[in-house]
Amino acid sequence: MVLLAGRGPCFGPAGRPGVRGGGLERLVVGGGRRDRGPARRRGHLAAVLLTIALVVMCAILTAAAAGVLAHLDGATSPRSLSRAVVTFAAVLTLAEAITTALTAL
């Protein structure tokens, strides 16, 4: 709920005594949500970018491990590379599925 409150001639817009002014101010009643400005949005963006970087790094490490294990198992180099690429795609797909499930909550 938003209420408009008028200030008397002795109270300014900030409600300090001794300052002249008397416009209408908005008072938010009931715990309205506040926007904390660009700094808060940058914090969210940084968290999202760091999460994406972490997921991609995990996918790269998992793909490298799968390629090395395939090569040690006796697979040819193209087959090892193929297994690494499939593993990389699988990790990214799993991360996308988890993200979709969490945002649906």
Check whether residue 45 and residue 85 sit in a common domain. yes
Check whether residue 81 and residue 50 sit in a common domain. yes
Check whether residue 50 and residue 80 sit in a common domain. yes
Is the full-model pTM beyond 0.85? no
Check whether residue 43 and residue 61 sit in a common domain. yes
Coil/strand/helix, residue 81 = helix
Residue numbers of the domain that contains 19: 1-34
Average pLDDT, rounded, for the chain: 79
Report how many domains make up the chain.
2
Give the model's confidence band at 9: pLDDT under 50 very low, under 70 low, under 90 confident, else very high. low
Q: Does residue 105 contact residue 85 with C-beta atoms inside 8 Å?
A: no
pLDDT over threshold 90, residue 50: yes
Check whether residue 10 and residue 54 sit in a common domain. no
Report the candidate in 59, 56, 96, 37 with the shortest Cα–Cα distance to residue 67: 59
Check whether residue 52 and residue 30 sit in a common domain. no
Check whether residue 49 and residue 75 sit in a common domain. yes
Beta carbons within 8 Å of 89's beta carbon, 6+ residues apart: none
Beta bridge partners of 26: 4
Check whether residue 59 and residue 91 sit in a common domain. yes
Check whether residue 54 and residue 24 sit in a common domain. no
Report the candidate in 50, 63, 49 with the shortest Cα–Cα distance to residue 93: 63
Q: What is the pLDDT of residues 29-40, one digit of tens each?
A: 555 566 566 667
Check whether residue 13 and residue 52 sit in a common domain. no
Check whether residue 90 and residue 75 sit in a common domain. yes
- pLDDT-above-90 percentage for the chain: 51
Structure-token pair, residue 77: 């180099």
Check whether residue 92 and residue 53 sit in a common domain. yes
